[in-house]
A = this chain, B = another copy of it.
Amino acid sequence: MFEIIRDIGAITRKTEIKTNAEFRRLGLANNAFIYVIRTYEKPGMFLGELADSVQIDRTTAFRTVQKLVDSGYLRLEDDAKDKRLRRVYVAAKGKAVYPELHAFEQHSSDTLLSQLTADEQNELKRLLSKLVY
């Protein structure tokens, strides 16, 4: 049954190569676009929370976010109560580019799922969500 785990890995790597190529021109390669999308959709996560939500190593995530702050896509804000935390928000450039990122993710998703019926897509979504817990 390990075909599942293998297929999942292969799909991820293939998808990442395409997406990174697409967004390199924006300085959003190396999965950087993921942070912009997620932050737009759920503003105010702290750094580690954001990293965990996409299952990327926290130090890698930290550096990527730094770069995105420098390039104007994201913005950091100290938490008022807990001095350890730095919360992440989209900056102007991130807001501006979100529609394009979202459209591409939608397109990637459509391409990936094009071989499945609507029912099959729903079932796949249900099954995968049970794996992520």
For window 1-49 of A, CB contacts with B under 8 Å fall at 1-17, 34
Q: Which residue of B8, B57, B106, B120 is within 8 Å of A11 (Cβ)?
A: B8
| A108–B123 alpha-carbon span in the complex (Å) | 22
Please classify the interface of chain A as helix (H, G, I), strand (E, B), loop, or mixed, using the class held by over half of its residues.
helix
A80 contacts partner chain B, Cβ-Cβ < 8 Å: no
| A79–B12 alpha-carbon span in the complex (Å) | 31
Residues in B whose Cβ lies below 8 Å from that of A8: 8, 11-12, 15, 128
Residues in B whose Cβ lies below 8 Å from that of A109: 1-2, 4-5
Which of the segments A66-74, A90-98, A110-118 contacts the partner chain? A110-118
Residues in B whose Cβ lies below 8 Å from that of A4: 109, 112-113, 121, 124-125, 128
| A55–B11 alpha-carbon span in the complex (Å) | 8
Residues in B whose Cβ lies below 8 Å from that of A108: 2, 5
